Structure 1
Amino acid sequence: MIERVNPPELGKPSGYSHAVAVDPARTGRIVFLAGQTALNQQNKIVGDGVVEQFENALSNLLAALRAAGGEPEDLVSVTIYIVDMDDYKAHAREIGAVWRKLVGTEYPAMAGIGVSRLWDVEALVEVQGFAAVPIERG
């Protein structure tokens, strides 16, 4: 069981949960997901802007999660590495719409971290996370 915890004494979160608790008795598998960028199958970064690259990176992360037996709602923690924080924040609504389209409205514990560059110099974002896959699917 995954429980999203947002205590009233903390500010209301938007696009993340303050904490996510996992019941180990009902979690069959913990899946650690490597950081994903907007790489396509030919190992080329695709997407002209941060929104398109975020969608491609998140899609890659979800493909890895599904291959390990998980679903988007199983995500318990996600970290987003961002090359240009101002550009990312300027497109926050569009990025949020991409999240809701691909994952839904349940949010894991999340962090956004500004970095000077990523492994692939063309990459604007990288998405990394882990998931708790329930016993019945794990």
Structure 2
Amino acid sequence: MSLERVNPAHLAPPTGFSHAVTATGTRLVLLAGQTALDGEGRVVGDTLPAQFEKSLANLLAALDAAGGAPGDLARVTVYATDVASYRAHAAELGRVWRRLAGRDYPAMAVIGVVRLWDEQALVELDGIAVLP
């Protein structure tokens, strides 16, 4: 399996994402949206960064259970109930990402939503990974 991150020079330099990712492999993993739920099904964390960290950890745990690793992520979508807050915390969220998932960024999008399934949830992440 290989993922190639494609960042054309004529597009704005990507920060914390790749403009495109090409993937070759034999196993596609579709990762369900993950919020900051603990093992008992309760949303944990009162801040966006705390919930982002737990949501990302949950996403990576699901990926690990499917046999993948952070570097196998080809696409991640972030759903945020407050995009302005997401932007304000971007540097901190980037540090969380690098600590948990490394520096091989997938293609990403951040989408503002009115609310998530769990009313206390501030952020949700889903993804697609390609495994060998």
* 1:115 and 2:116 matched: no
Aligned to 1:16: 17
The question of 1:41 aligning with 2:42 is answered no
May I ask how many residue pairs the two structures share in their alignment? 131
3-state SS of paired residue (2:26): strand
Whether 2:29 is the aligned partner of 1:31: answer yes
The match for 2:104 is 106
Q: Which runs of 5+ in 1 are unaligned?
A: none
Match of 1:63 in 2: 61
- Structure 2 counterpart of 1:130: 128
SS of equivalent residue, structure 1 residue 15: coil
2:98 is the counterpart of 1:91: no
- String of CA shifts for 1:91-126, please: whole Å, max 9, x gaps: 111100000000001100000000000000000000
Structure 1 counterpart of 2:78, from 73, 77, 80 = 80
Deviation at 1:9, TM superposition (A): 1.1
Q: CA deviation at 1:28?
A: 2.3
TM-score normalised to the size of structure 2? 0.98
Provide the aligned C-alpha RMSD in A.
Answer: 0.5
Letter in 2 for 1:119: W
Aligned-partner residue type, residue 15 of structure 2: S
TM-score normalised according to structure 1 size = 0.94
1:4 aligned residue: 5
Structure 1 residue runs of 4+, over 4 Å off? none
1:51 matched to which residue of 2? 49
Offset from partner CA, 1:67-106 (integer Å, 9 cap, x none)? 0000000000000000011111111111000000000011
